[in-house]
Chain A
Amino acid sequence: MSYAVGDALPPFVVTSASPAAMRDWSVFLADPNPIHLDVDVVKAKGLGDKRINQGPMNVAFMMNMLLAAFPGARIEAMDSRFLDNVYEGDHLTASGTVTAVDGNHLTCEFQLDVAGRGTVNSGTAILII
C-alpha cells in the first residue's frame, strides 16, 4: 500500500457521544469530575445542559481514525489541541489528511468535528507504517 500527500483518511464516526462511556472514563482516569456525570452540575456551572465528554476520549477517537486508516501502523507522535467541548448526544466525525511521506513515516493532520458545530479538536500526528 502506498500513500501520497493529500490522501484523505477514511472518517471514524461516533453517532452519539455516550454518557455511559463518560461514566467508564471517569473510572479509567480516576477523575470523578461531575461535569462528565451530572447534568445538574453542568447547569449549575453555566456550562450548558448536557454532560461533557472527557477530553482524552476525544483524542482516542482521533487515534482510532488514524490506526484504522493505516492497519499495522503505530503512532510515533501526536499533538492535539482542544478547541471546544463535546457534549452527550453529539454526532462526531474524526477525519484526516496525509501531509508528508518520508520513508515509512507519515505525517497527518486530523480533526474532530461535531455535526452542526464544527471542529472541536485538531492536530498533527506522525505514524510509522
Chain B
Amino acid sequence: MKNISYIIIGMIFGLGISISGMINPAKVLNFFDIAGFWDPSLMFVMGGALITTMIGYRIVFGRHHPIFATKFSIPTRNEIDTQLIGGAAVFGIGWGIAGFCPGASIPAIGSFKSEVLIFTVAMTAGILVARAFKNGVLSKAKA
C-alpha cells in the first residue's frame, strides 16, 4: 500500500503537469514573455497549486505524524546565501532557455518525444557535474 501510494502521488502530480500546460515549453516560455505573446495561464497553475498546498498543509500539520511515517521530514535549512540565489538564478536562465523545469520534464518523458529525452539527459548531466563540484571543490575549500 505504501509503495503504491508513491506511484499514485507521482501520477496525480504528472496529470496536473499535463493538464495545466506546464508540460508544454511553448506555453511556459510564453508565460515568461511578458513583452510578447504573453500567456498568463501559468499564474493559474501556480495559484491553484499554492492555495491547495497551503490549505492542505495546515490540515496535515494538525496531525501528530504522517500516515506511513513516524515523523514529518521538513527541510530545516534557513540560510539565504550565494549558493541559493546563484543556483536559483542559473535554474531560471535554463528554464527561460528551454521551457522545462524538472517537475515538468519528468512526466514529459512519458511522451517519448526526443526533445524531452535530450533535455532530461542534459539536466541529469548538470546535476552530476554540480554535485561533483559541490562535493569536491567546495567541501575541500571548507575543510
User: Do A and B assemble together?
Assistant: no
Q: Which residues of B contact A (CB under 8 A)?
A: none
Q: Which residues of A contact B (CB under 8 A)?
A: none
